[in-house]
Chains A and B, each alone.
Chain A
Amino acid sequence: MEWISYLGPLWQGAWVTIQLTLYSTVLGALLSFAAGIGKRSSIWPLRILSAVYVEVFRGTSLLVQLFWLYFALPLAGNAIGIDLRLDPVVAGVLALGLNIGAYGAEVVRGGLKSVSQQQLEAAQALNFTPRQTLWRISLPQAIPEMLPAFGNLAVQNLKDTALVSLISLGDLAFRAEQVRNFTQDSATVYTLVLLMYFGMALVLAGMIKLLEMSVGRWRTVSR
């Protein structure tokens, strides 16, 4: 029963992975809404800012973004005399959140676009301001539409956390590599790791499903 002894360090790593996923998904969600709403703003600098953010972070690799934040940013900071060295956790959460937020922004934009013109006309006829219409009419109807796509992104994000092992952050992938180096038992270690990622993904997908059911209750009522 050699493999039981692997579970300690692997569980340690899994806990880091869970935290990374949680923080970066929350950050990503906030950025998604900020940029997704920003892209439809009537204020043009907000539109441009949102579009630039989305294009830059969708158009470059997550790995490069991570390395840039962790290795290049401190050097850039040095050059102008500011300390921009980031803790690996902070760099990891930032890179993952910024990356997933750029994809999420498109989901938010698409969701808002799917709200029917008739709903917006009803809101205007009742004299709601554009802001009230967004928060009280459009978003509550669009969020249930967005959640399945958000679920995909969150699972994607969970799997992407493995990249942070490359800046020597002790997540699941990093611990797996350590255990494997130490024991040379690749088959067992990678099988365990596979199952652990899969288990976490299942739990995450289940949580999103629950959220979907609770925010979209009005969609399933029948006469």
Chain B
Amino acid sequence: MSSQTPASPDQTPARPLVRFSKVTKRYGEHTVLDDLDLDVAAGEKVTIIGPSGSGKSTVLRILMTLETLTDGLIEIDGEPLWHERRGDQLKPASEAHLRKMRGQLGMVFQQFNLFPHMSVQRNLTEAPRQVLGLSRKEAQSRATELLERVGLADHANKYPGQLSGGQQQRVGIARALMMRPRVMLFDEPTSALDPELVGEVLHVIRTLADEHDLTVLMVTHEMSFARRFSDRVCFFDKGRIHEQGTPEQIFTDPREARTREFLRAVLEPDV
């Protein structure tokens, strides 16, 4: 463990905002994440690419506490996510601790997962009001502002079922941002969309990430977006980071044969 750096934010190199240390996830015999190390700095935009079944989504799901880990340690700003420090020992986290940690994370889902029985407006305001205790007025002004940013100001009173997939995902992004998370997790946010709707969602992600200086961890199959958007690209294979680097390096000069093979298959599919 090397997390004993003093908490002094103005010193470089800064302590990573998210740190995975030797994280392993197994389902029975099947190993999904294998001894994974991954650091994400504050403000950094990291995309995870790789073949399906390589454990990409599991990274996000464990971070969002939707799945437990089998072994290892995850820290957010130096504080263990799945554990609590008691003296110098680490104990499994209580529900209260998980709730506190979860508040720093926001997630956007592949299938949007909007609440179908609530209007767009209430999808945005419900959690800030109930969970953060915002007043109706505060929550509404926050929602109005974000709906404006994602180009859906006119749709506040519609139900999710009345929106296109691209519009629904933009609501999903706004809903997550309402909680003002420190880290945004995007789990294949455009995979369920018709191709012509992908652009509007990626555009929103990019604008908001820049404006809010968000820390982003994103799993995606949109290679050209990953290339333009990311500070760093991680190529996942068999539950590990097989190769990582700047988008430039990964996409133009991948060192590993497995990375080259994957990128060739994705970028120039043999027909």
Residue among A125, A129, A219, A223 facing the most chain B CB atoms (10 A cut-off): A125
Residue among A119, A128, A140, A218 facing the most chain B CB atoms (10 A cut-off): A218
Check if B131 sits within 8 Å of A127, measured CB to CB: yes
Check if B113 sits within 8 Å of A128, measured CB to CB: no
In the assembled complex, how far is the CB of residue A201 from the closest CB belonging to chain B, in whole angstroms?
Answer: 30
Contacts of A137 in B (CB 8 A): 115
- Among B107, B116, B118, the residue within 8 A (CB) of A125 is B107
In the assembled complex, how far is the CB of residue B107 from the closest CB belonging to chain A, in whole angstroms?
Answer: 4
A137 to B105, CA, bound (A): 20
Contacts of B127 in A (CB 8 A): 126-128
Check if B116 sits within 8 Å of A141, measured CB to CB: yes
Contacts of B175 in A (CB 8 A): 126
A30 to B131, CA, bound (A): 27
Contacts of A119 in B (CB 8 A): 113, 115
A153 to B106, CA, bound (A): 42
Contacts of A127 in B (CB 8 A): 99, 102-103, 127, 131, 179
A100 to B251, CA, bound (A): 65
**B residues 93-146 touching A (CB-CB < 8 Å):** 99, 102-103, 105-107, 109, 111, 113-118, 126-127, 130-131
Check if B179 sits within 8 Å of A218, measured CB to CB: no
**Top 9 nearest A-B pairs by Cβ distance?**
A122-B113, A126-B127, A125-B107, A118-B113, A218-B117, A140-B117, A127-B131, A218-B159, A221-B159
Where chain B touches its partner, the secondary structure class is: loop
Q: Is B65's beta carbon under 8 Å from chain A? A: yes
- Measuring CB to CB, which residues of chain B are less than 8 angstroms from any residue of chain A? 64-66, 99, 102-103, 105-107, 109, 111, 113-118, 126-127, 130-131, 158-159, 161-164, 175-176, 179
A125 to B175, CA, bound (A): 11
- Among A122, A128, A141, the residue within 8 A (CB) of B109 is A122
A87 to B173, CA, bound (A): 59
In the assembled complex, how far is the CB of residue B70 from the closest CB belonging to chain A, in whole angstroms?
Answer: 20
Check if B109 sits within 8 Å of A121, measured CB to CB: yes
In the assembled complex, how far is the CB of residue B267 from the closest CB belonging to chain A, in whole angstroms?
Answer: 31
Q: Is A124's beta carbon under 8 Å from chain B? A: yes
- Among B116, B131, B159, the residue within 8 A (CB) of A128 is B131
A-B contact list, 14 entries, CB within 8 Å: A122-B115, A124-B102, A125-B105, A125-B106, A126-B126, A127-B103, A127-B127, A128-B131, A137-B115, A218-B118, A218-B159, A218-B161, A219-B117, A222-B162
In the assembled complex, how far is the CB of residue B172 from the closest CB belonging to chain A, in whole angstroms?
Answer: 8
Contacts of A219 in B (CB 8 A): 116-117, 161
A122 to B187, CA, bound (A): 12
Mark each residue of chain A from 95 to 134: 1 if its CB lies under 8 Å from any CB of chain B, else 0.
0000000000000000000000011011011111100100
- Among B66, B117, B163, the residue within 8 A (CB) of A223 is B163
Q: Is A209's beta carbon under 8 Å from chain B? A: no
Residue of B nearest to A144 (CB): B117
Q: Decide yes or no: A124 and B66 within 8 Å by CB, A132-B130, A221-B162 being known contacts.
A: yes
Contacts of A141 in B (CB 8 A): 115-117
Residue of A nearest to B102 (CB): A127
**Contacts A119-B113, A121-B66, A122-B114 supplied; 4 other A-B pairs, CB < 8 Å:** A122-B109, A127-B127, A141-B115, A141-B117
In the assembled complex, how far is the CB of residue B41 from the closest CB belonging to chain A, in whole angstroms?
Answer: 23
Check if B130 sits within 8 Å of A223, measured CB to CB: no
In the assembled complex, how far is the CB of residue A38 from the closest CB belonging to chain B, in whole angstroms?
Answer: 20
A127 to B111, CA, bound (A): 19
Check if B131 sits within 8 Å of A132, measured CB to CB: yes
Residue of B nearest to A220 (CB): B161
Check if B113 sits within 8 Å of A121, measured CB to CB: yes
Contacts of B163 in A (CB 8 A): 223
A121 to B105, CA, bound (A): 13
Check if A223 sits within 8 Å of B109, measured CB to CB: no
Q: Decide yes or no: A124 and B65 within 8 Å by CB, A136-B126, A222-B162 being known contacts.
A: yes
A65 to B161, CA, bound (A): 46
In the assembled complex, how far is the CB of residue A178 from the closest CB belonging to chain B, in whole angstroms?
Answer: 49
Residue among B65, B107, B127, B158 facing the most chain A CB atoms (10 A cut-off): B127
